[in-house]
Amino acid sequence: MLDFHNHILPGIDDGAPDTEQSLILIRGLQELGFDRIHASPHIIADTHPNSPKTIEAARQKLSQAIEAQGMTLSIHAAAEYMLDDVFLSNLKAKQPLLRLGGDRVLVEFSYIQKPDHVESYSFEMQIQGYEPVLAHPERYGYYHRDFEYYEYLKGLGFEFQLNLLSLTPYYGRDVQKAAERLLKAGMYDFACTDMHHERHLEAMRAHFDKGKLQDLFDKYELKNDELLA
Ligand SMILES: [Fe+2]
């Protein structure tokens, strides 16, 4: 199983602060059954202004630490893009986006404010050949009372990625209910950990194991491994 949404790269966003923590999270992911790991650090102009260069530097640093441990895992890296005005103007200026695999690109919305003109993001991405994957749609509380809007987003071309911890009380009852509803409606394409730190790892361990995760992926036809092709 591939986990393509996590913040294990050291020191470049609000995830692992150093390689020591990165390695703890990697070992935890492996125990949960994720044998392939693609990291997705935030790119948010205001708070985490990463670039392909900062991400590649962190990926190399982590790869060296992995090798020093005698482990054979290879880490790939893309990004999780915040859809905001800066993103849109960079996109329009044809700055290339980091892909998850194929032409897919991981994007997120603000938790606080519903994005305006969501159509322009998906339109602009798609005319440039990218396929947007929306991270944790269940965590955007402003859509909870407007379930049909999720269908609208899918119609615009967004694929949906579930945060596995959303199926537990970790992010709150409302998020859990939204995740269960989207899952039952067959609206998720992928499921990932969005692992930032050891609290996430402990919560994942408390609720999931390898067998349970595999059953979930099979039952809901989650296609993470398509991104390895
Ligand atoms: Fe994330």
**For 58-83, how does the pLDDT look when each residue is reduced to its tens digit (9 = 90+)?**
999 999 999 999 998 999 999 999 99
- Please, are residues 218 and 1 in contact by the beta-carbon 8 Å criterion? no
Domain count, the chain: 1
For ligand 1, the distance from its centroid to the CA atom of residue 185, given in whole angstroms, is: 23
Q: How far is the CA of 7 from the centre of ligand 1 (A)?
A: 6
CA distance 229 to 224: 10
Q: Residue 9 Cα, ligand 1 centroid: separation in angstroms?
A: 12
Looking at residues 198-225, what average pLDDT do you find? 97
Instruction: Using pLDDT thresholds of 50, 70 and 90, give the confidence band for residue 105.
Output: very high
Check whether 214 has a pLDDT greater than 80.
Answer: yes
For residue 115, is pLDDT > 80? yes
Q: Which residue has the tokens 């913040």?
A: 7
What pLDDT sits at residue 139? 98
Residue 146: CATH number of its domain: 3.20.20.140
Whether the CB-CB separation of 213 and 206 falls below 8 Å is answered with: no
Q: What is the pLDDT of residues 2-50, one digit of tens each?
A: 999 999 999 999 999 999 999 999 999 999 999 999 999 999 999 999 9
- Residue 18: give the domain boundaries: 2-228
Q: How far is the CA of 173 from the centre of ligand 1 (A)?
A: 20
Encoding tokens for residue 225?
């491994």
- pLDDT above 70 coverage of the chain, percent: 100
Q: 200 CA distance to ligand 1 centroid (A)?
A: 12
